[in-house]
Amino acid sequence: MSILVRGRYAARRAEGDADIAAAQALRHAAFIAGTGARAREDGREADEFDAHCTHILIEERATGRLVCCFRLLPLHDGAEIGRSYAAQHYELSALAAYPGPMVEMGRFCVAPGNEHDPDILRVAWAALTRCVDRDGVEMLFGCSSFRGTDAAAYSDAFAMLRDRHLAPKRWLPRVKAPEVLRFARQTLRAPDPRRAMRTMPPLLRTYLLMGGWVSDHAVVDRDLNTLHVFTGLEIGGIPPARARVLRLAAG
């Protein structure tokens, strides 16, 4: 089902097993192949959450080539937070009190070779905005991943997260995973803002620009060879100017 068409790209919901398999293959190319992550013999990055999610595909209109995908898991409110992928890695009991509709966005990836095409990210956020507005979502959340498990490579980024972007105490995720980086407790030098933003994952940069926040620790995920932080965005807290830009793109 089509969501929107913008320039060279079109976004739609996956329909059937073949579409989901294509998304899983793209995820394998982006997250597994050549990254040091645990190999998957079937060439697909898949898990049990796929069956419960809506999958969004972004394709090149001229060729039909899949260039981006992500999945959405809707929750009626925070009482259902335990159903989320993130709940495997973070203790989220504080968010169980969240009163409104929530959506977990996960497995966001762009086809290798297209990571620097800003139009893909714009179409992805426009499609996501349509979904959020349609369903009256009040909080968007997920895991934002840094490639590799060498925290030193991201010292400026983690220092910036510590200094400017930690979750409000009332929603703060607590430690659950066996191996974590407690960056908010570390004595890190003041961040170089340019280096911090350059090493920040593009999806996380966008979250932060809209007022998003993160957990006070990163999970060391050896399976996917990443460091990831829980990321939340309260839709009502998006700065009005940025909200207008998103809705204009989605309109």
pLDDT digits (tens, 9 = 90+) for 190-206: 899 999 999 999 899 99
pLDDT band of 43, cuts 50, 70, 90:
very high
Query: What is the rounded average pLDDT of the residues 2-20?
Result: 94
pLDDT of residue 39: 84
Identify the weakest region by mean pLDDT among 35-49, 82-96, 211-225. 35-49
Closest to 38 measured CA to CA, from 236, 231, 220, 221 = 221
pLDDT of residue 54: 97
Q: Give the span between the Cα atoms of 67 and 233, in whole angstroms.
A: 25
Token pair belonging to 142: 């997920």
Closest to 127 measured CA to CA, from 1, 251, 250, 233 = 250
Token pair belonging to 132: 């959020």
Homologous superfamily of the 2-250 domain (CATH): Gcn5-related N-acetyltransferase (GNAT) (3.40.630.30)
pLDDT of residue 2: 84
pLDDT digits (tens, 9 = 90+) for 112-125: 999 889 999 999 99
Q: What is the DSSP letter of 120?
A: H
pLDDT of residue 245: 85
Q: Give the span between the Cα atoms of 67 and 77, in whole angstroms.
A: 31
Look at 100 and 34; give whichever has higher pLDDT.
100
Q: Give the span between the Cα atoms of 145 and 231, in whole angstroms.
A: 10
Burial class (CB in 10 A: 0-12, 13-18, 19+), 237: middle
